[in-house]
Chain A
Amino acid sequence: MNDLLAQLIWNGLVAGSLLALVSLGLTLIYGIAGFVQFAHGELVALGAYGMLIFHKFLGWEIFPAGVASVACVIFFGIFLEKILFRPVRKKNPLVPLVISIGLSILLQSLILIFFGPQIQTISDRHFESFSVAGKFLATPNQLCAVVAAVILTAGLIFFLKKTRRGQSLRAVSDNRNLAQIFGVNIDSAMRWIFGVSAGLAAVAGIFLGFERNLEPMMGVQISITAFAAVILGSLGSVRGAIFGALTIGFAENLLVGFGVIPSGFSSAIPFLVLIGILLVRPTGFFGKSSQFLRE
């Protein structure tokens, strides 16, 4: 009926593109603020739960509900940066990292309290999956997820490379003090970055919510996998995050699909791939090999 390899490649592509959306946010925040934001997974979960509120409880259509949910998460992301991460910006990067760990546990518990422990689904209506060129099955949600990921990634790269605002963000991530001297407003740069990454996370959350249903702990799993993807591609590099996400997406599906690794081990695959690459290149795939004095 449909051929296994094509189906696995499609599953890998879907998982990879969702992971890419999450990893992009993570690597942007690291690039500019210098720490891995542990609570990024919870923003993904909030995107999904936001969709649950707007679409299921308030009954809005999918598209307006999606926009509303993404907007809320973006404002929440900016709000978090303002109250939690701005005061500690001068301190060594360990301080905001530990704060983000605390924030992650806090958000998980709040989601558990407000939305309850049980699994919920966003839409009651089921997606009819259709066969693509007779080779594999795909659902409309998966298709939209991949298309959205491609559009958003391309948009982000264009934004960072071509627009003035984008270049100022890259300047800040390269050397914060230097950028400040040349008049780049650091606070607004931070707002932009935390807003954009929260938005990407929310979009990923919405598609994940349709793809795999909702539960309070969904954020933790996806964010740990995204950590592996970002580190694998080397921190702060946008193409590294995309490369890392796609590698892990394909590795997870192909290795399990062809029985190379038993499916019980599937949650360990991202880290097996990560540690494998780090042994060869200690600063990630796209990282400059660390000269003693350079790093």
Chain B
Amino acid sequence: MKKLFFLATAIFISGCTAPNDEKIRLGAILPLTGGMAEMGLELQKSLIAEVEFLNKNGGILERDLEIIFEDGQCNPGVATAAAQKLVRVEKVPVILGGLCSPETLGAAPIAEKNRVILITSVSGAESISDAGDFIFRNAPEGNTNGQIIADHASALGLQKIALVNELSDFPLSVKKTFLENYDGEIFEENFAPGTMDFRTVISKIENEKPDALFFNPQQNQSFKVFLKQLVEAQWSGQLFFNNTVVGNPALYEEIEDFLQKNDAIAGSYDVVPNPQQTAVLERFETQWNRPALFRHLLANQHDSLHLILAAMKKTGDENDTEGIRDFLYGVENFVGASGTFSIDENGDAGKSYSLVKFDGTEFRNFERKK
């Protein structure tokens, strides 16, 4: 009976989807479940809206565009399996890369080995820069975030800062540069991803009476719980955040005045509103009839998509990944929804962070004290 069984599964597998070739197919790996699903699904919806719009206006190289989404779950093992399926079954030439760094790092070796372009618009871990020749990053590296906040803290003359980090790759790279650039006293506390009870950590910090508190999460889920418990602990003092909390007004419900009172400052992408960006947000709103969250990430992702499409237009053949790779390395002062940037020899878009301050409803740019 067992022999029969093995035979059956083999037949069943091979008979599956055969790739049709009239559409240009791209892959995308995003966390569609788990802690980061909120951000992942938002980016997915934006991509769907972009593709809808492009296909309505003639598509690319006179063919429609299609994006195949795979769930990376912020887990390297799952991301590798997803990349293998995209590369070997769907045979996509380009993968719009992982959201969290473990996803990108899990998928990168597969893309590199099969000469498939992988471009991430969010992952901040430094190790992505040397992950491979076909691996690109259209997002700032995590550590610049830590640097500008450290400089600003020194500028404000703060002596002692409490640093609360989530044990994930992006926050750790932010913490590394923050510690390198800030010479005042540090009181550090770490928490495991998914922690929901910060009361004890907050009581410990209040007992240390620091001048400021730098909350450094990977997922903004923990921001909402941490802030709620911070308000209930009647905290008062300067607040710093990394860029993951920017761009999602839902997070700031009923703590607007608390943030403003403690003049909350966060690192964020240097996202100057420009026509392309508003167009992206409008397309999202028409498609999903609600305003978009994580607007700065959507702008980045839109630029990554359009970089790829521009490269394909130039090479005339979407499967010529070497051609696309060379085009990308040659990108100089590309004007996109996330501003103008060029790509360096590591495949990074060399973007930088700027500081934004909470003005009652949103984190917005402000001129920093020199």
Chain A, 75-133, CB within 8 A of any chain B CB:
112, 116-119, 121, 124-127, 129
A118 to B41 Cα, complex, angstroms? 10
Chain B, 77-132, CB within 8 A of any chain A CB:
none
Residues in chain A near residue B253, CB distance under 8 A:
121, 124
From B196, B225, B231, give the contact of A126 (CB < 8 A). B231
Verify if B203 is at the interface (C-beta below 8 Å from A). Answer: yes
A264 to B175 Cα, complex, angstroms? 15
Verify if B155 is at the interface (C-beta below 8 Å from A). Answer: no
Residues in chain A near residue B199, CB distance under 8 A:
11, 253
Residues in chain A near residue B33, CB distance under 8 A:
112, 117
From B191, B195, B204, B233, give the contact of A257 (CB < 8 A). B204
Residues in chain A near residue B234, CB distance under 8 A:
129, 137
Given the contacts A212-B196, A213-B196, A221-B194, A256 and B207 also touching, CB distance less than 8 Å = no
CB <8 Å contact, A119 and B225: yes
Residues in chain B near residue A212, CB distance under 8 A:
196-197, 225, 229
Chain A interface category by residue count = 35 or more
From B191, B204, B225, B250, give the contact of A213 (CB < 8 A). B225
Nearest B residue to A6, CB-CB? B203
Verify if A42 is at the interface (C-beta below 8 Å from B). Answer: no
A129 to B234 Cα, complex, angstroms? 8
CB <8 Å contact, A256 and B192: no
Given the contacts A217-B194, A263-B200, A117 and B225 also touching, CB distance less than 8 Å = no
Whole-angstrom distance between the Cβ of B49 and the nearest chain A Cβ: 19
Chain B, 174-223, CB within 8 A of any chain A CB:
189-192, 194-197, 199-201, 203-204, 206-207, 221
Verify if A134 is at the interface (C-beta below 8 Å from B). Answer: no
Interface size on B, residues (CB 8 A): 35
Verify if B254 is at the interface (C-beta below 8 Å from A). Answer: yes
Residues in chain B near residue A139, CB distance under 8 A:
232
Contact with A along B232-255 (1 / 0, CB 8 A): 111000000000000000100111
- Looking at B199, B224, B229, B250, the one whose CB has the most chain A CB atoms below 10 A away is B199
Residues in chain A near residue B67, CB distance under 8 A:
none
Residues in chain B near residue A125, CB distance under 8 A:
254
- Looking at B33, B34, B35, B207, the one whose CB has the most chain A CB atoms below 10 A away is B207
A-B contact count (CB 8 A): 91
From B189, B204, B228, give the contact of A121 (CB < 8 A). B228
CB <8 Å contact, A252 and B41: no
A213 to B255 Cα, complex, angstroms? 14
A121 to B195 Cα, complex, angstroms? 16
Given the contacts A257-B200, A263-B200, A127 and B192 also touching, CB distance less than 8 Å = no
Residues in chain B near residue A157, CB distance under 8 A:
none
A256 to B194 Cα, complex, angstroms? 17
Verify if A8 is at the interface (C-beta below 8 Å from B). Answer: yes
Contact with A along B251-262 (1 / 0, CB 8 A): 001110000000
Nearest B residue to A123, CB-CB? B254
CB <8 Å contact, A4 and B204: yes
Residues in chain A near residue B221, CB distance under 8 A:
118-119, 215
Verify if A259 is at the interface (C-beta below 8 Å from B). Answer: yes
From A8, A253, A259, A267, give the contact of B195 (CB < 8 A). A267
Verify if A266 is at the interface (C-beta below 8 Å from B). Answer: yes
Residues in chain B near residue A263, CB distance under 8 A:
189-191, 200-201, 204
Verify if A59 is at the interface (C-beta below 8 Å from B). Answer: no
Verify if A183 is at the interface (C-beta below 8 Å from B). Answer: no
CB <8 Å contact, B200 and A11: yes
Residues in chain B near residue A218, CB distance under 8 A:
196
Nearest A residue to B31, CB-CB? A117
CB <8 Å contact, B204 and A262: no
Verify if B60 is at the interface (C-beta below 8 Å from A). Answer: no
CB <8 Å contact, A264 and B231: no
A221 to B222 Cα, complex, angstroms? 14
Residues in chain B near residue A1, CB distance under 8 A:
206
A88 to B162 Cα, complex, angstroms? 54
Given the contacts A127-B232, A137-B232, A266 and B194 also touching, CB distance less than 8 Å = no
Verify if A28 is at the interface (C-beta below 8 Å from B). Answer: no
CB <8 Å contact, A213 and B228: yes
A119 to B220 Cα, complex, angstroms? 9
Verify if B51 is at the interface (C-beta below 8 Å from A). Answer: no
A interface, CB within 8 angstroms of B: 1, 4, 7-8, 11, 15, 112, 116-119, 121, 124-127, 129, 137, 139, 211-213, 215, 217-218, 221, 252-253, 256-257, 259, 262-264, 266-267
The 21 listed contacts between A and B (C-beta, < 8 Å) are: A7-B203, A11-B200, A15-B197, A117-B35, A118-B37, A118-B250, A119-B38, A119-B225, A129-B233, A212-B225, A213-B224, A215-B196, A217-B194, A218-B196, A221-B194, A221-B196, A256-B200, A262-B190, A264-B167, A264-B192, A266-B191
